C-alpha cells in the first residue's frame, strides 16, 4: 500500500473479507481536495473488523502519510494534527510532558482520523465519554473540491455527521483535540473475580463511580456457568522508569487457525485460573489499556478464514437480562466465543449521528469464522432489537439493512451530509450506495 495507484486485495482486520480495490497514498504537500477522485474512501490503519474500511472496486485514499503534528499549546492542552497521526505517537510523546488523550480504544495503533470517524470509546466512557467529546474542530475535504471547517459551534451539523460518520462525509484533513492533564503512564489495577451475572453487575455498579477505567472479562469456555473477573484502574504516580518502546511479538501468516474450540477452552480456563483471586498491582497503562498491541498482527491467529466480532450496546435496565439471553443463545447453538468483554457506558450522549455509544452496557464477543456465525448473529440481533440496543458499525459485517435503519434513528439525517463521491462496502450494504 505504498505506491500510488496500487491495485490489489485489501483485507478487513477480521480477515473475513478480502476485496479488490485501488490504493492511493495522499500527498501531504498538495491540497487534499484536489487529490480526490469520485468512488473513494478514506483509509487509515484498517483496524475496522468488518467492512467499514473496505471499498470493493473503488479507491482507498491512504491517509497515513498525513502524519504531522501541526501545533500544540502547552497552556491549554490543545493539539492540532493531521489525520494520519497514530494515537500511540501522541501518547508516547505527550505523557512524559504531562498530557494524554482523554479517550483511547483497546488499541492505540489507529489513526486520529480513524478515531474520529468511528467515534471510538475506551474503558473510561463512564467518566470521559467517547473520542468525539474531546474533538474541538475538524477540517473536511470533499470530492467536489469544497473544504469545510466544522465544530460543535460552527457548521455543527457537519461536525455531528462526521464524528462517527465512518469517513463518508469527506476526508478529514485536520483535527483539533483537547488533551487532558496526566500524572504519568502508570495505573493502580484491581482484579475482582465473579461467579455469576448478579455479582458481575454489582461489581460494575460499585466500581464505576470510583474507578476511571473498568472492564470485565467472561470465561467463554465455561458453558455450564458464568464466571470471570472485573478489572478496575486509576492513574497513580510512580518513580519507575517508563520504557514503552519494546517491540511486539509478530504473528506470521498461518495456513490454519490456532483458535478453535479446544484451544479457546484451554486458554480461557487458564486465564481465569490466573485471575481467580482478588489482587492489586501497579502496571504500565499500555499493558492494561491495549493488551493485544503486545502481539503484532494478532488477527492472524485466526488463520486465513479470520473471525467475526459481535459488539452491541444495551440500555442499562435491560443489560443483565439481554446478556443472559445472548449467552444462552450462543450455548444453544453450540458456539462459545473465544473472547468476551464487557464495559459500561456512562450518561454522556453521543454527538455523532452514527456514533455507537449510548448509556448502558456494551458486550463484545469474538468468534472464529464459520458458516454458522452469520445465522447466529441474526438470532442475537433479535434479542438486541427487543432490548432497544444496536451494533457497533466499526465491528459489523453481518447486520441486516432493516435493523440498521431502526436501531440508528438518525441515519436519514446523516445521509444529507454524505459525500456522494465516497462509499464503502458497509455503506453499500446498509445505506444503498
* Contact (Cβ atoms closer than 8 angstroms) between residue 357 and residue 242: no
Q: Please state, in angstroms and as integers, the Cα–Cα distance from residue 363 to each residue in 94, 161, 199, 322, following that order.
A: 31, 25, 16, 10
Q: What is the mean pLDDT of the chain?
A: 96
The better pLDDT of the pair 2, 241 is held by 241
Give the tens place of pLDDT for each residue, 362-386: 999 999 999 999 999 999 999 999 9
Mean pLDDT of the region 8-25: 92
The reply to whether 249 falls in a domain is yes
Mean pLDDT of the region 171-176: 99
Tell me which residue has cell 483496524: 47
pLDDT computed for residue 224 by the predictor: 64
Secondary structure element (H or E) that encloses residue 405, with its range: helix 401-407
pLDDT computed for residue 223 by the predictor: 65
Beta bridge partners of 11: 18
Number of domains composing the chain: 1
Q: Are strands 59-62 and 135-141 parallel, antiparallel or unpaired?
A: unpaired
In which domain, by residue range, is 348 found?
A: 186-398
Q: Quick one: cell of 160?
A: 455531528
Mean pLDDT of the region 205-212: 99
Give the tens place of pLDDT for each residue, 247-305: 789 999 999 999 999 999 999 999 999 999 999 999 999 999 999 999 999 999 999 99
The reply to whether 105 falls in a domain is no
Mean pLDDT of the region 127-138: 99
The reply to whether 54 falls in a domain is no
The better pLDDT of the pair 186, 38 is held by 186
Q: Please state, in angstroms and as integers, the Cα–Cα distance from residue 43 to each residue in 36, 99, 217, 372, following that order.
A: 13, 27, 31, 30
The reply to whether 251 falls in a domain is yes
pLDDT computed for residue 3 by the predictor: 40
Mean pLDDT of the region 312-322: 98
Give the tens place of pLDDT for each residue, 64-93: 999 999 999 999 999 999 999 999 999 999
The reply to whether 49 falls in a domain is no
Mean pLDDT of the region 196-220: 97
The reply to whether 64 falls in a domain is no
Give the tens place of pLDDT for each residue, 391-413: 999 999 999 999 999 999 999 99
Q: Quick one: cell of 169?
A: 462525509
Identify which of 69, 2, 45 has the alpha carbon closest to the alpha carbon of residue 293: 45
The reply to whether 215 falls in a domain is yes
Mean pLDDT of the region 149-170: 99
Give percent above pLDDT 70 in the chain: 98
Helix pair angle (373-386, 316-332), 10° resolution: 150
pLDDT computed for residue 109 by the predictor: 98
pLDDT at 351 over 90: yes
Q: Residue 374's domain is classified under what CATH number?
A: 3.30.70.2520
The reply to whether 307 falls in a domain is yes
Alpha helices (H) along 275-370: 285-289, 316-332
Give the tens place of pLDDT for each residue, 52-62: 999 999 999 99
pLDDT computed for residue 2 by the predictor: 39
SS3 346: coil
Could you tell me the pLDDT band of residue 1, with boundaries at 50, 70 and 90?
very low
3-state DSSP percent of the chain in helix, strand and coil, to 5: 30, 25, 45
Amino acid at each position: 500500500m505504498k505506491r500510488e495507484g496500487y491495485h490489489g486485495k485489501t483485507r478487513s482486520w477480521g480477515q473475513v473479507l478480502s476485496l479488490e480495490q485501488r490504493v492511493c497514498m495522499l500527498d501531504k504537500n498538495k491540497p487534499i481536495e484536489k487529490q480526490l477522485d469520485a468512488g473513494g474512501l478514506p483509509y487509515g490503519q484498517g483496524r475496522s473488523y468488518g467492512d467499514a474500511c473496505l471499498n470493493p472496486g473503488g479507491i482507498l485514499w491512504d491517509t497515513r502519510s498525513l502524519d504531522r503534528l501541526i501545533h500544540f499549546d502547552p497552556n491549554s492542552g490543545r493539539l492540532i494534527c493531521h489525520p494520519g497521526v497514530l494515537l500511540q505517537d501522541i501518547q508516547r510523546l505527550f505523557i512524559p510532558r504531562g498530557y494524554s488523550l482523554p479517550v483511547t480504544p483497546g488499541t492505540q495503533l489507529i489513526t486520529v482520523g480513524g478515531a474520529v470517524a468511528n467515534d471510538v470509546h475506551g474503558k473510561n466512557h463512564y467518566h470521559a465519554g467517547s473520542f468525539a467529546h474531546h474533538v474541538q474542530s475538524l477540517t473536511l475535504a470533499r470530492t467536489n473540491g469544497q473544504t469545510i471547517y466544522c465544530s460543535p459551534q460552527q457548521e455543527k451539523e457537519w461536525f455531528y455527521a462526521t464524528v462517527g460518520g465512518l469517513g463518508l462525509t469527506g476526508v478529514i484533513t485536520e483535527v483539533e483535540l483537547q488533551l487532558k492533564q496526566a500524572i504519568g503512564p502508570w495505573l493502580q489495577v484491581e482484579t475482582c473475580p465473579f461467579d455469576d451475572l448478579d455479582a458481575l453487575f454489582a461489581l460494575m455498579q460499585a466500581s464505576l463511580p470510583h474507578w476511571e477505567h473498568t472492564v470485565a472479562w467472561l470465561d467463554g469456555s465455561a458453558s455450564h456457568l458464568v464466571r470471570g473477573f472485573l478489572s478496575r484502574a486509576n492513574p497513580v504516580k510512580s518513580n519507575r522508569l517508563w520504557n514503552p518502546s519494546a517491540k511486539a511479538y509478530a504473528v506470521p501468516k498461518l495456513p490454519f487457525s490456532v483458535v478453535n474450540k479446544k484451544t479457546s477452552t484451554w486458554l480461557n480456563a487458564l486465564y481465569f485460573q490466573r485471575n481467580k483471586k482478588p489482587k492489586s498491582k501497579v502496571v504500565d497503562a499500555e499493558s492494561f489499556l491495549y493488551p493485544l498491541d503486545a502481539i503484532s498482527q494478532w488477527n492472524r491467529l485466526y488463520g486465513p478464514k479470520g473471525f467475526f466480532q459481535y459488539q452491541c450496546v444495551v440500555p442499562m435496565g435491560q443489560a443483565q437480562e439481554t446478556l443472559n439471553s445472548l449467552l444462552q443463545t450462543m450455548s444453544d447453538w453450540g458456539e462459545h466465543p473465544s473472547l468476551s468483554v464487557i464495559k459500561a457506558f456512562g450518561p454522556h450522549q453521543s454527538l455523532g449521528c452514527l456514533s455507537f455509544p449510548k448509556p448502558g452496557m456494551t458486550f463484545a464477543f469474538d468468534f472464529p469464522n464459520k458458516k454458522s456465525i452469520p445465522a447466529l448473529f441474526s438470532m442475537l440481533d433479535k434479542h438486541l432489537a427487543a432490548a432497544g440496543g444496536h451494533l457497533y458499525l466499526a465491528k459489523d459485517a453481518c447486520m441486516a439493512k432493516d435493523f440498521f435503519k431502526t436501531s440508528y434513528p438518525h441515519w436519514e439525517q446523516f445521509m444529507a451530509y454524505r459525500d456522494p463521491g465516497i462509499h464503502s462496502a458497509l455503506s453499500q450494504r446498509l445505506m444503498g450506495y
